[in-house]
Amino acid sequence: MPLHCPPHLYNHDKDVTTDTLRHVRTPVNGVLVHARIGGTPAADRPAVILLHGLSISSRYLAPLAIELAEWTYVAAPDIPGFGLSGKPGRILDIPGMADAMVGWMGAMEIPHAILDGNSAGSQVAVNLAVRYPGRAAGLVLTGLALGGQRRGVWSQLGRAVVDVPREPLALWPMQARDFIAAGPRRVVRTLQLAMNDRMEELIPEITVPTLVVEGARDPMDDPEWNRTLVAALPRGRLATVPRGTHALPMSEPRELARLIQEFALDLEDLPAHAAAADAGLKPGAKPTKSLRD
């Protein structure tokens, strides 16, 4: 498969695992967490963790992961309850997902990384960065759907309909497959919990550099809210992808990978992260609850 393959030509069922990505399953507090892994760890560049959105798995993040794997170590976990990961004993809220991801980072011996979240995955990234200082080398937030003037279930459902023809066709079979695997009850309850999460209240507490990336063709995003968040971030910046949709990691993986790489190279504290990686430091924070509770 050639590099920079258009999103609709990726073999999403196999995730191109034979060439670039591999499946890794790791037990975390009684639940098996699946992730798509690629690239090679390097002392002079941070790892990147990709966090998927609501009712879908990391499958649609494969195009972005493939691009990033050419440059650094990249991991796209399925948050417990979704994709190929096991189902925890309770439906996780956004802080619970952050706890689960920190537990997974510990099991994978990833001390810290750039966290790139898409849609609800951005909420998970923000919660993780605030709840576990030092785990995020930086944040990249895309598709910030659940906030601003566009917050609201019915508003978002209407805008999701508008978004349908703008996305790569391959996204929708994935979305349907992952929705069925997770189950309607889990998806609906997770949406309710995500709607109740007030990410904007945590934004001023973020101390790491943060890049907000908006897709100009994303009807679920609120440009005004994005700019409000960037202004509230102690170290925030904004980028716009002209052809970007809500599923930005799939619709414009090459451009998003470029933005993430440029962002990573600008991190002021990269030497400190590299030193920690060289020393083989293990994460010290642990989830506050067992996933089986």
Q: Quote the domain boundaries for residue 235.
A: 19-278
User: Domain holding 222: CATH number?
Assistant: 3.40.50.1820
**Residue 124: CA count within 13 A, CB half-sphere:** 30
Count of structural domains within the chain: 1
Mean pLDDT, rounded, of the chain? 84
Q: What pTM was estimated for this model as a whole?
A: 0.85
Task: For residue 7, tell me if it sits in a domain.
Answer: no
pLDDT score of 154: 60
Q: Work out the widest C-alpha separation in the chain, in whole angstroms.
A: 50
Task: For residue 6, tell me if it sits in a domain.
Answer: no
Task: For residue 206, tell me if it sits in a domain.
Answer: yes
The structure tokens listed for 175 are 């979305």
Q: Where are the beta strands (DSSP E) in the chain?
A: 22-28, 31-38, 48-51, 74-77, 113-118, 136-142, 210-215, 236-241
The amino acid present at 64, given as its one-letter code, is: L
Task: For residue 124, tell me if it sits in a domain.
Answer: yes
What are the pLDDT digits (tens) for 4-30? 333 333 344 444 444 789 999 999 999
